[in-house]
Amino acid sequence: MAFINHAAKEINCKIVYYGPGLCGKTTNLQYIYTKTAEERKGKMISLATETDRTLYFDFLPIDIGTIHGFKVKFQLYTVPGQVFYNASRKLILKGADGVIFVADSQEERFEANIESLENLQENLIENNLSLDLIPYVLQLNKRDLPNVVPVEELIQELRYKGEPYFEAVAIQGLGVFETFKACAKQVLQTLR
Amino acid sequence: MALPDFVMYEEEYNKLKEVIERLKEESGSKIVFLVDKNGQQIAGAGELGNIDATSLASLTAGNVAATDGLAKLIGEKEFSLLFHEGERDNLHISIVGKRGILVVIFDNKATLGLVRLRVKKASQELEKIFDLIDEKAKKQVGDSENFESPFAEITEDDIDKLFGDI
């Protein structure tokens, strides 16, 4: 649910990064944070455990520019990926305008991706949203590792509705902005 | 989709702002913020320059959402009030209607009792304004043939240009 503020001439949209534990959701946000000019970003907040695992969410506000006199702002959130934090994941999806699913390309995480995608769909439905309708992008992360599943195989299993997909190495920044832009673009298109 | 986009016009914004300015004065608090349950900042009053309003809005919404989850776990509809006491400043967080959260920051110049009293009064006024906002949005949806979104003319090119320098 975008917030269109005619008084402040601002559009605020929310994008949520979803995916299994340790797939690189926080890394995506960290890269965007480090590469975005000071005047275009707010503070990045990470509510994490002592071992740097996301406990509740990461949050990064970004200002991407002006369109037809309105300042366009995106609020990027990640969910905690670990299975037992499901209650928190559900809360964070509330009011999302777009979702990015970050898949971990490693063979041993194949099942975890599928479970997380199913979990995403369930939690969207509980928030009266749906993967069929919401702007959605798939990112295949960690493509630099040796034990990755071929792209075609991942796509076959994880691509839900012909959404755009991007190969990524989030830790080096590869594919990070492409993924974000593709999702943000879809979100803005829904405002029309 | 769950809820329609939240569209706020100048008229309602000014009304909301007036209520929270008054709340700030009458309660003797330092800052009053109105945020929505999704973590967007709606309006603020007081010494806003000293505070990161965007972070405050998102953390407040997260806090309220988690508390709401806790309430449901024990069979409560919601906990409508959260209070955090600090050494110097205190935070009073309350839910307004279906979509608003009111955040009041105050120090020892104000009392919790007075803040609670004034918040209650202001909440009722804010709720009425939120209802007006909803009514307006519904009217526009019903009148969609004559209503044109200000973004109807956004082109692919406009969107591409936006990302040009990111």
pLDDT value for B101: 96
Q: Which residue has the tokens 């989850």?
A: B69
**Between residues B145 and A121, the one the model is more confident about:** A121
Residue type, B112: L
Give the burial class of B112: count Cβ atoms within 10 A of its Cβ; 0-12 exposed, 13-18 middle, 19 or more buried: middle
- Look up the CATH number of domain B10-145: 3.30.450.30
Q: What's the domain range around A37?
A: 10-191
A108 domain-assigned: yes
A117 domain-assigned: yes
A134 domain-assigned: yes
Chain B 114-153, CB below 8 Å of chain A: which residues?
A: 149-153
Residue type, B143: D
A1 domain-assigned: no
List of chain A residues with pLDDT < 70 = none
CB contact under 8 A, B65 and A94: yes
3-state secondary structure of A161: coil
Give the chain B residue whose CA is nearest to the CA of A192.
Answer: B152
Closest CA to A32 of A184, A178, A177: A177
| Domain segments of chain B as ranges | 10-145
Summarised one tens digit per residue, pLDDT across range A112-144 is 999 999 999 999 999 999 999 999 999 999 999
Tokens coding B10: 């100048």
* Number of structural domains chain A divides into: 1
A90 domain-assigned: yes
Q: Strands A136-141 and A98-104, how do they pair? A: parallel
Q: Any CB–CB contact under 8 A between B165 and chain A?
A: yes
Which of B16, B48, B58 to mutate to probe the A interface, most A CBs <10 Å?
B58
Residue type, B80: S
Q: Any CB–CB contact under 8 A between B69 and chain A?
A: yes
Predicted confidence band at B156 (pLDDT cuts at 50, 70, 90)?
A: confident
pLDDT value for A192: 79
Cβ of A2: how many Cβ atoms within 10 Å?
25
pLDDT value for B49: 86
pLDDT value for B159: 79
CB contact under 8 A, A43 and B1: no
Cα A163 from Cα B52, distance rounded (Å): 35
Residue A123's CATH number: 3.40.50.300
Instruction: Spell A93-125 as b/e; 16+ CB within 10 A means b.
Output: bbbbbbbbbbbbbbeebbebbeebbebbeebbe
What is the complex's ipTM, to 2 decimals? 0.85
Tokens coding A65: 């520019």
A3 domain-assigned: no
Long-range contact list for A172-175, CB < 8 A, 24+ apart? Answer: A172/A144, A173/A31, A173/A35, A174/A143, A174/A144, A175/A139, A175/A141, A175/A143
A5 domain-assigned: no
Give the chain B residue whose CA is nearest to the CA of A57.
Answer: B62
User: H or E segment at A92?
Assistant: helix A86-93
A4 domain-assigned: no
Summarised one tens digit per residue, pLDDT across range A6-21 is 999 999 999 999 999 9
